Chains A and B, each alone.
Chain A
Amino acid sequence: MDPTVVDRTFPPVGPYVVSTAKVTEFATATQWRGTGVPPTFPILLLNDAMLAFLADVGASLERIVHGEQRFSYRRPLVVGDELTATLRVATLRSLGGADVIGTLSTITDAAGEVVCEAKATLVHTGTTEEGAA
């Protein structure tokens, strides 16, 4: 992967409106034993941000492995929030022929306030054909 991708910020994804119906569906699917919006809910928006980033840099989706995900919250999500995710590539390193991409996505609300920061590590495995490229 082109090392100049580091520190690049990709176009924002959203706004995504948090609805009661989607929260209920997501809570059921994650066997949620709490109240309110599950803390992994922003993955809905982050998936779109990561797909847009990967398409932009020409990475093959089938060679991407999600290695790590961490969320850091400033406040809980609530139904009605209008969220926007902006992804930045924070780090890039090579490990055994794979690119290990550290991304940092900032999720903001309608007022532009940061609600959550999400760190994801994406591992893009190379092939022997591409190994020399």
Chain B
Amino acid sequence: MSASTGSAGSTGSADVAGVEFEPQRFTLTRADLVRYAGASGDFNPIHWSDRVAGAVGLPGVIAHGMLTLGLVGSAVAAWTGGAEVLELGAKFTAPVVVPDDEQGVVVEIAATKVTRDNGTVSIAMEVRCGADKVLGMPKAVVRG
């Protein structure tokens, strides 16, 4: 089976088999962190207390790494129309600092390389919060 590859920079979009991989944006506010804490059962105070986050040397309250990875899963679902996920993962390399304001922060997920082969689609990504790359080697493989 032949393989096709699409590439795009962080502001562009990759395309494979007629599917557009437009960058997906997600806004995170403090309320979103509280909601994820409740849904996941992860009540580590670095995700809701400035006092505790500061005490452990963080620049502020940070998003759960698994919340950011959850957003990656959501981006993949949006791109692929909910295709069956075979693999999903990333390294948590830099914190997503979420300020205590109405605006929050935007996490942008861009597909950087899409490879279709043997009934699967591999999607390499770049996940940024502002200028910072926050995940290392974020990658998904879906059936398709």
Contacts and interface: CB of A to CB of B under 8 A. Distances in A.
B144 interface: no
A71 B69 CA distance: 11
Main secondary structure of the interface of A (DSSP, over half): mixed
A72 interface: yes
Nearest to A24: B39
Interface in A67-114: 67-73, 76
A36 B39 contact: no
B65 A30 contact: no
Interface stretch (A7-15, A38-46, A52-60): A38-46
Contacts of B136: 68
A75 B75 CA distance: 20
A121 B91 CA distance: 9
Interface in B1-56: 24, 26, 32, 35-36, 38-42, 56
B125 to A, nearest CB: 14
Given A40-B66, A40-B69, A73 B75 contact: no
A34 interface: yes
A62 B57 CA distance: 12
Nearest to B36: A29
Contact of B70 (A25, A40, A48, A73): A40
B90 A32 contact: no
Nearest to A70: B89
Contact of A67 (B56, B69, B91): B91
Which interface class (under 10, 10 to 19, 20 to 34, 35 or more) fits B? Answer: 20 to 34
B88 A31 contact: no
Contact of B74 (A30, A48, A67, A72): A30
Contact of A31 (B38, B40, B42, B71): B71
Contacts of B89: 68-71, 119
A108 B78 CA distance: 27
Given A44-B41, A47-B40, A30 B82 contact: no
Interface of A: 22, 25-26, 28-36, 38-40, 43-44, 47-48, 62, 65-73, 76, 119, 121
The 8 lowest CB-CB distance pairs between A and B, nearest first, are A34-B77, A70-B89, A30-B70, A29-B39, A33-B78, A34-B82, A39-B85, A68-B91
16 contacts: A29-B35, A30-B39, A30-B74, A31-B26, A31-B70, A34-B76, A40-B88, A43-B40, A43-B66, A44-B40, A66-B65, A66-B66, A68-B92, A70-B90, A71-B89, A73-B85
